[in-house]
Structure 1
């Protein structure tokens, strides 16, 4: 992988972590998508690399540290997302944008279930129904995020 692509991966993941940590009103936070998961799915789909699992785990640990959550919770769930997308990369790239949108929501639901299970095992915390609301915003935002990152990559190629 080219150094420019690696820099772009790290920059987009840092931006996703920043978006997830920004203070928003509670009503907006209820619908806030899992930005880091969306970006990891994008890079796993478009630039499959063996280092991407390491990046996913590292940025997941960064999220754990910044959120004050159980160390490894986000890292483990993001490694699971990266593995699943990398495993079925060829099939996923041949789907339409709308099918891929639904698959992304299912992957994020899987991620949510993993994190909820870890919270339940560690703290006996039962998730609430409103924990599913970010999946709705991810459903709407995924095509736009994919379009934006595709345009950035095309712009880098032309320079």
Structure 2
């Protein structure tokens, strides 16, 4: 018996993540903006590796670069690095409890900030203020709700 597949959920979730990333926030809340696209792409990399891989992460990163107007290729690199690490440890991570998955995702989001800082440093671009290092913590806290919501929609379970 095959599981129900909602083919519309992948593009919808990525589109919503991009919209949440574009949502205007007051300057005081900007440092806490979670990297929604990384959370959504991370979910799909763990749960549906047949459809989502390095190429998908790279393409979504390029799309985000165009949408957000940053350095072309920066988010593509960041998402590809995250996707590579997630693919490497997918077998173990998939069976972790959500709390341990959240810690691993928090580490990946922190690594994402390091990659971003390295790119900015290498190109002589201004660095983000230290307050922007809080976003991975918020992303880690949001992992469980994002995971549970997408998993419920993907599997078609009713509460």
TM-score w.r.t. structure 2 length?
Answer: 0.88
Matched, 1:33 2:34: yes
CA distance, structure 2, for counterparts of residue 47 and residue 54 of structure 1: 14
- Measure how far apart 1:136 and its partner are: 2.1
Q: Which residue of 1 aligns with 2:152?
A: 151
Give 1 or 2: higher helix fraction: 1
Q: 1:143 to 1:51 in 2, by over 3 A?
A: closer
CA distance, structure 2, for counterparts of residue 52 and residue 93 of structure 1: 15
Q: Which runs of 4 or more aligned residues in structure 1 lie more than 3 Å from their structure 2 counterparts after TM superposition?
A: 4-7
Gaps of 5+ in 2: none
The aligned runs of 1:67-78 (5 Å cut-off) are 67-78=68-79
CA RMSD of aligned residues (A): 1.9
- Measure how far apart 1:35 and its partner are: 0.2
Q: Which residue of 2 aligns with 1:139?
A: 140
Q: Which residue of 2 aligns with 1:125?
A: 126
- Measure how far apart 1:6 and its partner are: 4.5
- Measure how far apart 1:17 and its partner are: 0.6
Q: Which residue of 2 aligns with 1:90?
A: 91
Gaps of 5+ in 1: none
SS of the equivalent of 2:29 reads helix
- Measure how far apart 1:147 and its partner are: 0.6
Q: Work out the number of aligned pairs and report it.
A: 155
Which is bigger in relative contact order (C-alpha 8 A, separation at least 6)?
2
Conserved 8 A contact 2:45-2:52:
no
SS of the equivalent of 1:25 reads coil
Q: Which residue of 1 aligns with 2:55?
A: 54
CA distance, structure 1, for counterparts of residue 155 and residue 51 of structure 2: 23
CA distance, structure 1, for counterparts of residue 52 and residue 145 of structure 2: 26
CA distance, structure 1, for counterparts of residue 73 and residue 43 of structure 2: 21
TM-score w.r.t. structure 1 length?
Answer: 0.88
- Measure how far apart 1:41 and its partner are: 0.8
